[in-house]
Amino acid sequence: MRTGESPPSWMEPALGETLRALVRTPASSALAREHWKYTRVEKITELLDSSTVVLGCELEGDAQAGVTIVRDVLPDAHELNLLSTRSTYCPATAKVLLNVHGIDRLVIGQNLAEPLVILRSDVHRPLLVTILPGVSASIHDLSSSATGWLIIEQQPDSHLDFTRLHTRAANTRWHQLQLVLNRHASLTMQHYCTGATFSRQDIFVALVGAGSSIDVQGCWSANARDHLDQQWHVEHHAPHTRSSQVQHGIADGRAVTTYRGRIFIGKNCPAVDASLMNRNLTLCATAVCNTKPELEINTDDVRCSHGATVGQLSEESIFYFQSRGVDRESARKMLAAGFINQCLRGALADSARLEMLGTSSE
Amino acid sequence: MNLLEVRDLYANAGDKPILKGLTLTIAAGEVHAMMGPNGSGKSTLSHVLAGKPGYTVTSGEVLFDGKDLLAMEAQERACAGLFLAFQYPVEIPGVSNMEFLRTAADARARALGAEPPAAVDLMRRLRAISSELGMNPDFLKRGVNEGFSGGEKKRNEILQMSYLEPRLAILDETDSGLDIDALRIVGEGVTRYLQTHPDSSVLLITHYQRLLDHIVPDVVHVLANGSIVESGDRSLALKLEARGYAWLDAG
């Protein structure tokens, strides 16, 4: 199917199957029930129903040396396995979907001079990025589309500096992200997003190669009647792997935010080091923050820590500002900004601050 | 001219009466030390004067430069020239010291109808003050009090005081947690401030006379059970140091 076209009628059964499979998913297992605890899966199927036009991805920086892209191709067996193994779709559904729509295949074969920027992604035709061994790259995912499906496979000894900034450009959103790290691959990730009327992020990280590591700093803000549900799965499938997450979220108005951080450590994975900290700030009594760190550990000899907090602005801190002449409302704004600032870093920190707080710099 | 006049002040912390008829007058340019045993109401007095929530004034009045201090919000009191150096300064991660002080200076300038200070002037001045206080200027980029030792926090309070140039600084047990050198540096910082701001006043709240070796008070008060029971010159502090507070009960 060519970009921009609606699916032909012969595809309808496959799409229908996809949607039905999604609807069935919550009841299929305890894990799946948890996955859909705070978002009705019907919201996803409605979103898919309303956006069946396949557009593929839109990129910047894909013409630079070292980047090769082939659009609208059927995945090979390895890619199909990669795409369907860890996904919100059940594997069979993913395979059907991928064989219908194909993928956009992008390979980064040498160190990039400038970041590869993703401006739009598409859940119907995923973008699969492969970073070849030893290559260092930077990717900015600024996708403004309602849906997205991005898979990044890092081959051995590669390094990725990955920043996601998802704003409320699309007021209804569902994005899937899968990250697969092979031997000694390292990933530094900045994850920033704002709420939306409906927003769901499904993020799967698989550390499949020994010595691979991921370091995540993330923050988000939601207000009004936003719904922001983030499901993070970090899976350690190899020894000597390391994951670190520090994520801060703010909820105001009648927003409901959910962060589920699942860490899985497989069998025979000694010397794994995994940590997770999620702090949440509710700016008023009507905002809701759900947070649930989960650990599933199947190997002894690992170090694993997690923590989660939900709190309000400290009156003591507000008074400290007031005692220096700053009014209460300004103090609240600065304290909220400080909470977010703790998780901002890298090239897009200012943009993220602007999106989340309405202020551009410290 | 009297800068602060506290008249027959009664105040509760929560529901508990703490201040019971406290009267205190501080003239412009004076240094007063407030001493007293634990639980006598020293910190409550500082909090009530600064406008901290959780305290209720049940009777009495407080005039600051002739204006009703108790009618002002906490930030209005600060903009009018009252400064509280906290006994336990809070940490504010993610907000740098520089940003914090710039915001405070801007707020104060707005309240006074003045131009906010230029960023370069603010930076230059803060670097100079931090140098005087023996602080590494890099701390200005760090979060407010974030990861600071107890002594660093207290020095930071004095730095803020020196930059914001209050007319009345209340130092609430600023000497607690300071080693000998830090105590000297803080004492010298306050003394330097008073020398360059001769119309400014200081109310020192302390348990010990050792800070008074560095900041010489004009008047020493003893606070007990919510009211001032004795006032005198510096020799009163020395007497308290030697004899404790028990002799006050004996009359």
pLDDT tens, residue by residue, A14-60: 555 665 566 556 667 777 788 888 888 888 878 877 776 778 899 99
Q: Residue A111: pLDDT above 80?
A: yes
The answer to whether B95 contacts A323, with C-beta atoms less than 8 Å apart, is no
- pLDDT per position as a tens digit, A231-287: 999 999 999 999 999 999 999 999 999 999 999 999 999 999 999 999 999 999 999
How far is Cα of residue A204 from the mean position of the Cα atoms in its chain? 8
Closest-CA residue of chain B to A320 = B90
Residue burial A79-103, b: 16+ Cβ < 10 Å; e: rest: bbebbbebbbbbeebbbbbbebbbb
Neighbours of B27 (CB within 10 A): 15
Predicted pLDDT at A10: 47
Of the candidates A314, A330, A339, the beta carbon closest to that of B94 is on A339
User: Of A117-121, B35-39, B73-77, B174-178, which range is least confident?
Assistant: B174-178
The fraction of chain A above a pLDDT of 90, given in percent, is 67
User: Of A2-11, A190-199, A203-212, which range is least confident?
Assistant: A2-11
Provide, as residue numbers in chain A, all residues whose Cβ is less than 8 Å from the Cβ of B94.
337-342
Neighbours of A273 (CB within 10 A): 15
What is the average pLDDT across A203-231?
96
Interface check for A356 against chain B (CB to CB < 8 A): the answer is no
Q: Shortest Cα distance from B101 to chain A (angstroms)?
A: 8
Predicted pLDDT at A90: 61
Predicted pLDDT at A7: 47
Of the candidates A325, A338, A340, the beta carbon closest to that of B92 is on A338
What is the average pLDDT across B144-164?
94
Residue A46, CA atoms < 13 Å, CB-side half-sphere: 9
Q: Residue A309: pLDDT above 60?
A: yes
Predicted pLDDT at A94: 65
Residue A255 near residue A226 (C-beta atoms within 8 A): yes
The answer to whether A322 contacts B143, with C-beta atoms less than 8 Å apart, is no
User: Of A93-107, B54-68, B78-92, B227-241, which range is least confident?
Assistant: A93-107
Provide, as residue numbers in chain A, all residues whose Cβ is less than 8 Å from the Cβ of B84.
323
Predicted pLDDT at A279: 97
What is the arrangement of strands in the sheet containing A242-251, beginning at the earlier edge strand? Answer: A58-60, A116-120, A136-141, A159-166, A186-194, A213-222, A242-251, A273-282, A303-312
Q: Residue A219: pLDDT above 90?
A: yes
The fraction of chain B above a pLDDT of 90, given in percent, is 82
Residue A138 near residue A112 (C-beta atoms within 8 A): yes
How far is Cα of residue B31 from the mean position of the Cα atoms in its chain? 11
Q: How confident is the model at residue A133 (pLDDT cuts 50, 70, 90)?
A: very high
Predicted pLDDT at A25: 66
Residues within 8 A of A (CB atoms), B 67-106 only: 73-75, 78-79, 83-84, 86, 89-90, 92-96, 99-101, 103-104
Residue B55 near residue A322 (C-beta atoms within 8 A): no
Predicted pLDDT at A89: 64
Residue burial B53-64, b: 16+ Cβ < 10 Å; e: rest: eebeeeebebbb
Q: Residue A125: pLDDT above 90?
A: no
Q: Shortest Cα distance from A331 to chain B (angstroms)?
A: 9
The fraction of chain A above a pLDDT of 70, given in percent, is 87
Cα A140 to Cα A129: distance, rounded to the nearest angstrom = 13
Helix, strand, coil % in chain A, rounded to nearest 5? 25, 40, 35
Of the candidates B78, B95, B144, the beta carbon closest to that of A323 is on B78
The answer to whether A330 contacts B89, with C-beta atoms less than 8 Å apart, is no
Return the higher-pLDDT residue of B243 and A5.
B243
What is the average pLDDT across A191-197?
93
Q: Residue A101: pLDDT above 80?
A: no
What is the average pLDDT across A344-358?
89
- Find residue B166's DSSP bridge partners: none
Q: Shortest Cα distance from B251 to chain A (angstroms)?
A: 38
Predicted pLDDT at A93: 63
Residue B146, CA atoms < 13 Å, CB-side half-sphere: 18
Residue A150 near residue A121 (C-beta atoms within 8 A): yes
Predicted pLDDT at A88: 66
